[in-house]
């Protein structure tokens, strides 16, 4: 697999240390709030049942876990995982009264959980930030139960050339928006470059299959601005 920006420069921790306190606000600004609809699409595609365990890796401040619990009437358990302590602390503040969520500072490449433990594994806008995508997928496969499902929501490649042109023009404005909202542009320079260098839809499917997942598929959202990839462990 080709070398990714985060491997070359080791920027990821510094990036999120700079933006954690306005992470949610900036997500709303950048996507005009559409990221919330994408995350709901992820949970709807999952169609979780009650009394199941979800691990959400690169959880940020906990959006996916919240949606999962709402979908299951809070009859489930969420393990929120993120390598950034500041981000975890922000999430804990948001959901301090929720008893169904636990938080751990860990990386996607090395999870502390036993084999065959989770019913669902999600990672949203985080896979491209891992140091080793293949190892992260291997860990996802290891920790899922047989019959468990992997779902990844990530920026992807736009198929329509006109939409792609408009999106790339807009992307150039994102560091300026970051400067205005967060006071820093550098994290968003990284964001745009990491998206450009990330795998396309078919390449990510191949990586999932290599890790052992079956019935792998993807669904484009917003014309391929993002995609949801899904696979099963049997």
Q: Is the pLDDT of residue 8 over 50?
A: no
| pLDDT tens track for 73-121 | 999 999 999 999 999 999 999 999 898 999 999 999 999 999 999 999 9
* 3-state SS, residue 151: strand
Q: List, in sequence order, every beta strand (DSSP E) within the chain.
A: 53-57, 77-82, 101-105, 118-124, 144-155, 214-221, 226-232
Phi/psi for 78 (5° steps) reads -120, 135
Is pTM beyond 0.85 here?
A: yes
Residue 21 has pLDDT above 70, yes or no: no
CA-CA distance, 202 to 205, in Å (whole number)?
A: 5
With cut-offs at 50, 70 and 90, classify the pLDDT of residue 188. Answer: confident
CA distance 102 to 95: 10
pLDDT recorded at residue 3: 42
Mean pLDDT, range 164-173, rounded to an integer: 93
Domain span at residue 28?
Answer: 5-232
* Overall number of domains in the chain: 1
CA atoms of 201 and 181, how far apart (whole Å): 31
pLDDT at 95: 93
pLDDT at 15: 63
What region does 39 belong to: left with phi over 0, alpha with psi -120 to 50, or beta? alpha
Question: What's residue 4's pLDDT?
Answer: 46
**Domain CATH code at residue 150:** 3.40.50.150
Report DSSP letters for 83-128, one per residue. S-HHHHHHHHHHTTT-TTEEEEE-BTTB--SPTT-EEEEEEES-GG
Phi, psi (degrees; rounded to nearest 5) at 121: -130, 125
Is 117 in contact with 143 (CB distance < 8 Å)?
Answer: yes
Binned at pLDDT 50, 70 and 90, residue 6 comes out as very low
Instruction: Give the pLDDT confidence score for residue 46 in this predicted structure.
Output: 98
């Amino acid at each position: 697999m080709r070398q990714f920006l985060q491997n070359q420069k080791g920027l990821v921790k510094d990036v999120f240390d700079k933006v954690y306190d306005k992470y949610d606000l900036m997500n709303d600004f950048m996507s005009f709030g559409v990221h919330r609809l994408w995350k709901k699409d992820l949970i709807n595609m999952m169609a979780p049942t009650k009394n199941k365990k979800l691990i959400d890796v690169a959880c940020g401040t906990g959006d996916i876990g919240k949606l999962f619990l709402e979908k299951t009437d809070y009859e489930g358990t969420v393990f929120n995982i993120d390598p950034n302590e500041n981000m975890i602390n922000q999430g804990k503040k948001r959901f301090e009264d929720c008893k169904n969520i636990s938080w751990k500072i860990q990386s996607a490449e090395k999870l502390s959980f036993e084999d065959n433990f989770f019913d669902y594994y999600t990672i949203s806008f985080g896979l491209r930030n891992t140091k080793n995508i293949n190892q992260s997928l291997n860990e996802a496969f290891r920790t899922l139960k047989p019959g468990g499902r992997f779902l990844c929501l990530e920026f992807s490649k736009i198929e329509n050339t006109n939409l792609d042109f408009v999106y790339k023009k807009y992307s150039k404005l994102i560091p300026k928006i970051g400067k205005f909202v967060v006071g820093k542009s550098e994290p968003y320079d990284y964001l745009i470059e990491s998206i450009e260098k990330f795998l396309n839809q078919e390449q990510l499917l191949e990586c999932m299959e290599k890790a052992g997942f079956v019935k792998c598929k993807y669904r484009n959202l917003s014309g391929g601005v993002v995609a949801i990839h899904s696979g099963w462990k049997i």
